[in-house]
């Protein structure tokens, strides 16, 4: 398979963008977690000082500055504390909102919760007496612990919005390029086509071989059709009621006269005819020509193409099946992207045009229904039955 260089380049750009975004998010998460850890360490250091102050008061030491000890004890206004003795009897509590009813149950439950967190400091009173200080994270630390996740959510939301804004802007720019390129192509073809038609009239008046003029007329008409197609791609085409079966057969008939006899094309239509559907005929014929040409390329100019028209109560379906090389499953969607091609000299716009004509101009769908490497591919077109 060839080389979807343009498409691959865009994929690499997207991967680079996502990689940088992930690295930035990871960096902010690391910084936030480090901040939480530092604050947690600082709170433990404060609790150790607080525990030492408690020990000093309980020990009734005469050589300490009681004003300083009391100041240390009073400085804790944010960290919840429960102090128990060696028998797990609660001696003191600080910074806990104890309910008026069932206060003892609340404290026991809170104590069990703190024990599970294993945030405890042992307070040595004397050789036979120990107390244990259990503490919880302060309100600030708890809020800060949620901050990395909130930050992650905000950053991801920002990245998603930025990504879709970028894609939307890129699509709008692509649409402008499509329109501009198509209109300019139609305009550039218009002048030489008019000149050729004038030359045909002049040759006919001079009595040139009528068969030669007829063949040249077909080619000039073909150029006119191509110019019309580009003109319609560059604007909103008008759809008119058309016989779907007749449109398919006309496109196939055109292809049969221009392909090798080694390629067989069969058309299968339902017994009950589908009512005329609103179609832009020049563009729909272009779709079938593109799909048939791709199938012929995939079969290396030798094989079988089968086109099947079917319908139900709300939709009609057109399946184009070939006996070519097949498409890898991971390429089912990427083959429709601009710039993706398996041809050395291809532009990678054929299937992109097909998708645009079906989905944007006819409100339908086109996708790879099934494909097997070495056996062939089936494209399906779905259209609303009106």
Shared domain check, 339 and 243: yes
Indicate if 31 and 165 belong to the same structural domain.
no
| Boundary residue ending a domain (92, 122, 137) | 137
Identify the domain boundary among 137, 168, 201: 137
Cα dihedral 341→346→351→353 (10° resolution):
140
End-to-end CA distance of the chain: 39
Domain enclosing residue 318, as ranges: 239-384
Task: Detail the DSSP E strand segments found in the chain.
Answer: 81-85, 90-94, 120-126, 129-135, 240-242, 263-268, 277-279, 303-311, 315-322, 365-372, 376-384
In this predicted model, what pLDDT tens digit does every residue of 273-285 receive, in sequence order?
899 999 999 889 8
CB atoms within 10 A of CB 371: 22
Q: What is the pLDDT of residue 163?
A: 78
pLDDT at 71: 63
Q: Is residue 118 located within the same domain as residue 178?
A: no
pLDDT of residue 66: 47
Q: What is the DSSP string of 136-173?
A: ---HHHHHHHHHHHHHHHHHHHHHHHHHHHHHHHHHHH
Give residue 211's pLDDT.
Answer: 82
Cα 95 from Cα 247, distance rounded (Å): 82
- The counts of H helices and E strands in the chain are 8, 11
- 58 and 20 in a common domain: yes
- d(CA 1, CA 189) in angstroms, rounded, equals 33
What is the DSSP secondary structure assignment for residue 4, as one 8-state letter?
-
Residues 325 and 379 in one domain: yes
Calpha distance 70→65 (Å, rounded): 9
Please tell me the predicted confidence (pLDDT) of residue 350. Answer: 82
3-state helix, strand, coil in the chain (%, to 5): 55, 20, 25
Give the total number of structural domains in the chain: 3
Are 117 and 200 part of one and the same domain?
no
Question: What is the pLDDT at residue 75?
Answer: 67
pLDDT of residue 323: 93
Statement to judge: residues 362 and 267 lie in one domain: yes
Given 102, 137, 172, the domain boundary residue is: 137
Residues in CB range of 306: below 8 A, 6 or more apart: 265, 266, 268, 319, 320, 321, 322
For the chain, residues with pLDDT lower than 70 are: 1-11, 54-76, 175, 178, 234-235, 343-348
């Amino acid at each position: 398979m060839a080389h979807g260089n343009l498409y691959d380049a865009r994929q690499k750009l997207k991967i680079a963008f996502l990689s940088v975004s992930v690295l930035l998010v990871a960096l902010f998460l690391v910084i936030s977690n480090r901040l939480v850890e530092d604050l947690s360490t600082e709170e433990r250091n404060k609790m150790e000082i607080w525990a030492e102050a408690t020990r000093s008061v309980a020990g009734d030491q005469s050589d300490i500055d009681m004003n300083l000890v009391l100041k240390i004890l009073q400085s804790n206004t944010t960290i919840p504390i429960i102090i128990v003795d060696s028998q797990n009897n609660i001696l003191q509590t600080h910074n806990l909102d104890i309910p008026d009813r069932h206060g003892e149950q609340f404290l026991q439950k809170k104590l069990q919760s703190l024990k599970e967190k294993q945030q405890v400091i042992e307070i040595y009173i004397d050789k036979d007496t120990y107390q244990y200080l259990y503490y919880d994270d302060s309100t600030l630390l708890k809020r800060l612990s949620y901050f990395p996740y909130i930050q992650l959510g905000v950053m991801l939301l920002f990245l998603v919005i930025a990504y879709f804004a970028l894609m939307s802007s890129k699509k709008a720019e692509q649409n402008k390029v499509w329109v501009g390129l198509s209109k300019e192509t139609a305009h550039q073809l218009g002048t030489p086509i008019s000149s050729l038609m004038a030359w045909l009239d002049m040759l006919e008046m001079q009595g040139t071989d009528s068969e030669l003029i007829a063949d040249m007329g077909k080619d000039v008409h073909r150029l006119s059709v191509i110019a019309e197609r580009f003109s319609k791609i560059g604007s909103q085409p008008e759809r008119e009621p058309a016989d779907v079966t007749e449109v398919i057969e006309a496109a196939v008939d055109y292809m049969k006269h221009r392909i090798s006899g080694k390629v067989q094309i069969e058309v299968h239509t339902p017994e009950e005819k589908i009512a005329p559907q609103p179609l832009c005929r020049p563009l729909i014929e272009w779709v079938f020509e593109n799909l048939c040409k791709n199938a012929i390329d995939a079969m290396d100019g030798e094989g079988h193409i089968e086109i099947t028209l079917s319908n139900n109560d709300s939709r009609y379906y057109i399946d184009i099946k070939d006996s070519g090389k097949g498409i890898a499953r991971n390429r089912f969607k990427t083959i429709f992207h601009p710039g993706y091609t398996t041809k050395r000299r291809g532009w990678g716009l054929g299937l992109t045009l097909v998708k645009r004509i079906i989905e944007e101009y006819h409100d339908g769908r086109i996708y790879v229904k099934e494909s097997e490497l070495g056996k062939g591919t089936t494209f399906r077109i779905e259209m609303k039955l009106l």
